[in-house]
Amino acid sequence: FYCMITHIHLTVESQNCGTLLQVIVRQCVLDTLRLSREQLLEVKRRFSEEMTRGLSKQTHKQASIKMLPTYVRSTPDGSEHGDFLALDLGGSSFRVLLVRVRSGTKRSVDMQQKIYSIPQEIMQGTGEELFNHIVDCIADFLEYMGMKGASLPLGFTFSFPCDQTKLDEVIFFCLLCFQEFDLNFVAVVNDTVGTMMTCGYEDPKCEVGLIVGTGTNACYMEEMHNIELVEGDNGRMCVNVEWGAFGENGELEEFCTEFDHLVDACSNYPGKQRYEKMISGMYLGEIVRNVLLDFTAKGLLFRGKVSERLKTRGIFETKFLSQIESDRLAMRQVRSILQHLGLTGSTCDDSVLVKEVCSVVARRAAQLSGAGLAAVVDKIRQNRNLNQLSITVGVDGTLYKTHPHFSAIMQETLRDLAPQCEVTFLKSEDGSGKGAALITAVACRVKNEGQQ
């Protein structure tokens, strides 16, 4: 590099030359986090391949995207009505909801709920202990609502990464013991499906659900004849894509940086959920933190002096990305966030560079989300042999809703990679609780139609 400078006779002072070198190094590092259109198209292509493999009985076990059947056969059509109980199990709390669905001219969804905490010892205990706690909560809620002894259909949703063995235990106990309350146990779903159903009640064209928050996932209505894990060829069924696991077979390796590898190695499950680790709110702050540590070690930030707080894993929260990238946030406010991280000597130049790092990391996450979503909507279009598809995506998640630029970048990427799909986005409100009740309402409607 120095020879090149000499060759072209650049006459700059040594300090300026050092600054130029720093700019070159900085941009080289940031460029590893930028994705070209060709790379995004390749991500979409590989994603599509894994979707097909996940649907096939022959390749399902080897596929990184599992494409799990949900047994939800329809979205709301507006004729659903009745009273339903919904149970929403979160990480540290548990909600019991009474949801009243009205059809006709007074079509509406009214909810009443009560939130119960889940003690840590119960959350870490057996499935039976968790179930007993749930039973107590339901009993209390029914008495509170003056509905003791009422016979209601029930939907159960979980909106946190639940160990499948424990979840199976809880469902087993539910099936055995909910008769105690004379409840019809109808549906068990995750919050992604609930999001699609909640938005589907507002917009009949909503056939895709998307979560981009602490975690990320998608679901959509797939043709039954493509779902080889389930018998039957007629109609459609919602498929839980479980797209966070994309990349576990190495599909994303060439797009990963040293910072992605660091985050993955230090995670609870190295090698797993590779796509999620490049997109979701649980990991973006950690990617930024590792870039800042690298820049500081190279003398590009904070005069080469790192704070002890910045060395702490998880200290750079993803909400800082949203705050730092806010167009309303002045540089002195960015510096206040850095001071919170123990970087009291940060300069205005440091703030500018930190903002650029946050922007690059968030942009890549939004583009990767857009590439995956492009694969999903294009598959729906091809399934239906349409030249042009018009569809709505129900979406939830704090990253999508609170980051100032994430949604716009994701939608721009989607339009570019799936130009034959006209996609409308509808933000979900309470996809877990309301969604569980609507899934139950749809299941009851479909069952009644079948009986008739």
pLDDT of residue 56: 97
Q: Is the dihedral of CA 275, 49, 370, 393 positive or negative?
A: negative
- Pairwise CA distance, residues 134 & 381, whole Å: 42
Q: What is the pTM of this model?
A: 0.87
pLDDT of residue 160: 54
Within 8 A by CB and 6+ apart from 45, the residues are: 375
pLDDT of residue 186: 65
Q: For residue range 394-435, what is the model confidence (pLDDT) as tens digits?
A: 999 999 999 999 999 999 999 999 999 999 999 998 777 888
Low-confidence ranges of the chain (pLDDT < 50): 1-18, 161-165, 167, 452
Q: Which of 243, 192, 245, 282 has the alpha carbon at shortest distance from 374?
A: 243
pLDDT of residue 85: 87
pLDDT of residue 275: 98
Strands (E), 28-146: 68-69, 82-89, 93-102, 108-117
Backbone angles phi, psi at 193, to 5 degrees: -65, -40
How wide is the angle at C-alpha 91 spanned by C-alphas 85 and 94, nearest 5°?
25
- Pairwise CA distance, residues 218 & 233, whole Å: 23
pLDDT of residue 24: 84
Buried b (16+ CB within 10 A) or exposed e, 87-104: bbbbeeebbbbbbebebe
Contact 158, 167 (CB under 8 A): yes
Catalytic positions, written as ranges = 95, 159, 191
- Pairwise CA distance, residues 287 & 19, whole Å: 25
- Pairwise CA distance, residues 375 & 222, whole Å: 13
Q: Can you list the alpha helix ranges (DSSP code H) found in 56-187?
A: 120-123, 127-144, 164-177
